[in-house]
Amino acid sequence: MTTVLPADARSLAAAVRALRDGRLVAFPTETVYGLGADATNGKAVAAIFAAKRRPDFNPLIVHVRDLAQAGTLVEFSPLARKLAEAFWPGALTLVLPRRADCALSLLVSAGLDTVALRMPSHPLIQSLIAETGPLAAPSANVSGHVSPTTAAHVAEELGERIALILDGGATPLGIESTVIGFDGEHAVLLRPGAVAREDIEAVAGPLRTASDKVNSPGQLASHYAPRTALRLNVRSAGAHEALLAFGPELRHDARVSLNLSPAGDLKEAAANLFAMLRTLDAAGVESIAVMAVPERGLGEAINDRLRRAAAPRTP
């Protein structure tokens, strides 16, 4: 089994040692748990793909210490800099052109000439990156599964495949970062996430929506799939089903039910989404019936993940 240590200062030295040795360390961020490796070490980055059993090389998010470190890796346009200044540290990932002297492994970009960067807000992870340099870290789940929001999820998913898990409890936001790319001086929404569109638009103006699949290679239709089938926007749930409710619960016959947010709070719903999908997936029901979630604010990211979870499985 893997070693699990609390995500506090006493565990820092062990995490630094493992990462410098090219091994994998899972750590909490404000969004979901990441599966981290030294982003300058191609072999270590390759080990991430192997551990996740990713069928192909999707580009990974690189976690940086601050804007100054990011500036040594990628080219910032004025708009990109404005967004980083407004939202870092935080759940916003920016896809920017690699600098010619970029020290990162080419594998983190999976053949693209861009790299996705964000500065996480967890103080221990900031200290970790200060010691190790930039860390590549996708969500710490087997490819195609929902992202882990607790250390126990990570152990279930990847247990024996990683050197160390830093346990920081449940991640506060519970859904992955928002990924923004650029088309000239326009910001493009590549993946809705934990920072709501409205908040980004207040800084960047109207966001364009990515139509080209090549722009968001990680966005496979069934990327966030539990094993159990999902029905969305339900008004009823049967005895063979589990109900995933939002707001005031409808009257139902479901064998088991959980509520993303009885008060209809989208932040609370985002934080609960993946853990509740996991629990209901393990309930042995025929399908999970999900009540409608409004499309505003974090609802855009929640509905994106629900639609992917409900999509026909890609092999």
When CB distances are held under 5 to 8 angstroms depending on the partner's kind, the choice from ligand TXA, Mg ion, none that residue 259 binds is: none
Residue 299 binds to ligand TXA (criterion: CB under 6 A): no
Among 7, 70, 116, 234, binds ligand TXA (CB under 6 A): 116
Instruction: Report the Cα–Cα distance between both ends of the chain, in Å, rounded.
Output: 29
In the complex with ligand TXA, the residue whose CB is nearer, 34 or 168, is 34
Residues from 38 through 97 that contact Mg ion (CB under 5 A): none
Alpha carbons 165 and 158: distance in angstroms, whole number? 10
Strands (DSSP E) along the chain, which ranges? 3-6, 25-27, 34-38, 61-63, 92-97, 114-118, 135-136, 164-167, 178-183, 186-191, 208-209, 229-231, 241-245, 256-259, 287-290
When CB distances are held under 5 to 8 angstroms depending on the partner's kind, the choice from Mg ion, ligand TXA, none that residue 187 binds is: none
CA dihedral 133, 134, 135, 136 (to 10 degrees): -150
| Candidate segments 60-68, 133-141, 165-173, 200-208, binder of Mg ion by CB under 5 A | 133-141
How many Cα atoms occupy the beta-carbon half-sphere of 44 within 13 Å? 24
In the complex with ligand TXA, the residue whose CB is nearer, 41 or 177, is 177
Alpha carbons 44 and 59: distance in angstroms, whole number? 14
Residue 303 binds to ligand TXA (criterion: CB under 6 A): no
Site string for ligand TXA, 146-175 (x = CB under 6 A): ------------------------------
Helix axes 299-310, 266-281, angle to 10 degrees: 20
Q: Closest-CB residue for ligand TXA?
A: 218
DSSP H or E stretch at residue 50: helix 42-52
Spell out the residues 6+ positions from residue 273 whose beta carbon is closer than 8 angstroms to its own: 174, 175, 260, 302, 305, 306
Residue 139 binds to ligand TXA (criterion: CB under 6 A): yes
Residue 93 binds to ligand TXA (criterion: CB under 6 A): yes
Among 25, 45, 60, 73, binds ligand TXA (CB under 6 A): 60
Coil vs helix vs strand at 145? coil
Radius of gyration (Cα) for the chain, nearest Å? Answer: 19
Among 216, 259, 272, 303, binds ligand TXA (CB under 6 A): 216
| Candidate segments 81-89, 106-114, 254-262, 289-297, binder of ligand TXA by CB under 6 A | 106-114
Alpha carbons 160 and 69: distance in angstroms, whole number? 32
Coil vs helix vs strand at 24? coil
Alpha carbons 276 and 161: distance in angstroms, whole number? 25
Q: Residue 244, Cβ neighbours under 10 Å: how many?
A: 29
| Candidate segments 56-64, 160-168, 240-248, 260-268, binder of ligand TXA by CB under 6 A | 56-64
| Candidate segments 8-16, 136-144, 154-162, 238-246, binder of ligand TXA by CB under 6 A | 136-144
Among 15, 19, 29, 132, binds ligand TXA (CB under 6 A): 29
Among 18, 59, 260, 276, binds ligand TXA (CB under 6 A): 59
Could you say which DSSP state residue 111 is in?
T
Q: Closest-CB residue for Mg ion?
A: 139
Residue 95 binds to ligand TXA (criterion: CB under 6 A): yes
Residue 80 binds to ligand TXA (criterion: CB under 6 A): no
Residues making contact with ligand TXA (CB under 6 A): 29, 31-32, 34, 58-61, 93, 95, 109, 112, 114-116, 137-139, 176-177, 179, 181, 190-191, 216-219
Residues making contact with Mg ion (CB under 5 A): 139
